[in-house]
Structure 1
Amino acid sequence: MPKVGMKAIRQAQLISATLTVIDRVGLAEASLSAIAKQAGVSTGIVSHYFGDKNGLLDACMRQILLDLYLAVERQRRAADNTPEAQIRAIIDGNFDLTQVAAPLLKTWLVFWTNSLHQENLQRLQRINDRRLWSNITAQFARVLPHEQARAAGGSIAALIDGLWLRMTLAQKPMTDGLEQARSLCYQNLALWLATAR
């Protein structure tokens, strides 16, 4: 009889192991056996909980997206309820220290790349993109006309994604560029808000 709560523990353990293995050897070399070895379990346990490598990658991305959502929500709850403060909180959540651990960064790149070819990951990517854009756009819509709010939301969402990509590919640790990334986003935000006055 399995222990109560063991499924959640095992799944979290295997997701963490997957991030570590992808960081170390890349997706192509991240076999179920390498992941199982990293987690200290049998390959059968991985298959039992996730089916195959695609199922495990899907679960990893769901966890990463949940963690990102929670980071953004934590920032938004702490911010004032003005459009500027809420958009700054969304920016801060996307560049939160919880989002820049090395294994996580490479998995994001794997996710983006594989979402071009795997329908389940493509769907998750669309949800993530849509959430970011719509949350920013909703705040801009409080002070800008509809079409301008949509353009402003798209601008900041693209800037966040572009900065993430550049920092992930950089040779130095991503934490070195966090303040600059936030600052660039804040500057873009200020330019859009200036058109509302």
Structure 2
Amino acid sequence: MPKVGMPDIRKPQLVNATMAVINRVGLHAASISLISKEAGVSTGIINHYFGGKHGLLEETMREILRQLSSTIISQLKPIPVDAHQQRINAIINANFEGFQAESKVAKTWLAFWSYSMHDVDLNRLQRVNEKRLLSHLKIELKALLPKEQAEVVAHGIASLIDGIWLRGTLNPEGIDANKARLIINDYLDKQLTFYAKVSRFQGI
């Protein structure tokens, strides 16, 4: 976390510089020197406020997660609380549109995923993000499915989001948001249809 007193103008400047450098040269080659040069600041500022590259990477990921959370909330806000499938679609869309779909953000996410396997702080951020996504999905799915089935489908959708995101990041053409929605909605529709048939058969 940045130290108290970090000028607000500097944080987005350094976060954007970090993502730009990772996008250009990768995480391991993204040195404090390159990031400070990209941001137009001295290396001392980064070391002072973030304690080095690790602290800056953590703040960068926090900002990406904040942006994702904000996008999900803003997309859900105008949708009626009982329009559950529409709200699920909004959650899906938020993961593939706008800021999250930018090349520099996608490559930073990919670097973060690989790095978080070996870093306690970054792994914790990843777990928080995973739990937040599952929580959003389960709230809506529990209105459409029994609790146990809602849990399974929520994990299925989250897995599809991650998988499509990973494949899209590795694709030179980037993430195809329309195809992502089609794939995930096809899975969701099949799950809802299957349970509806089971319920009728069992007389539920």
TM-score (norm 2): 0.90
- Describe the superposition over 1:127-148 as per-residue Cα deviations: whole angstroms up to 9, x where unpaired: 1111111211121111211110
- Describe the superposition over 1:108-143 as per-residue Cα deviations: whole angstroms up to 9, x where unpaired: 001100110000000000011111112111211112
Q: CA deviation at 1:79?
A: 2.3
Give the aligned partner of residue 84 of structure 2: 83
Gaps in structure 1 of 5+ consecutive residues: none
Q: CA deviation at 1:196?
A: 4.3
- Residues 6, 49 of structure 2: 8 Å contact kept: no
Between the two proteins, the alignment pairs up a number of residues equal to: 191
CA distance in 1, matches of 2:193, 2:162: 23
State the SS of the aligned residue for 1:127. Answer: helix
Give the aligned partner of residue 154 of structure 1: 155
The yes-or-no answer on 1:138 pairing with 2:139 is yes
Give the aligned partner of residue 92 of structure 1: 93
CA distance in 1, matches of 2:95, 2:159: 12
The yes-or-no answer on 1:184 pairing with 2:167 is no
Give the alignment's Cα RMSD to 1 decimal. 1.3
- Describe the superposition over 1:155-188 as per-residue Cα deviations: whole angstroms up to 9, x where unpaired: 11101111000100112132xx110101111111
% identical equivalent positions: 44
TM-score (norm 1): 0.93
Gaps in structure 2 of 5+ consecutive residues: 197-204
CA distance in 1, matches of 2:174, 2:144: 37
CA distance in 1, matches of 2:184, 2:77: 20
Stretches (4+) displaced over 3 A: none
Give the aligned partner of residue 70 of structure 1: 70
2:64 partner amino acid = I
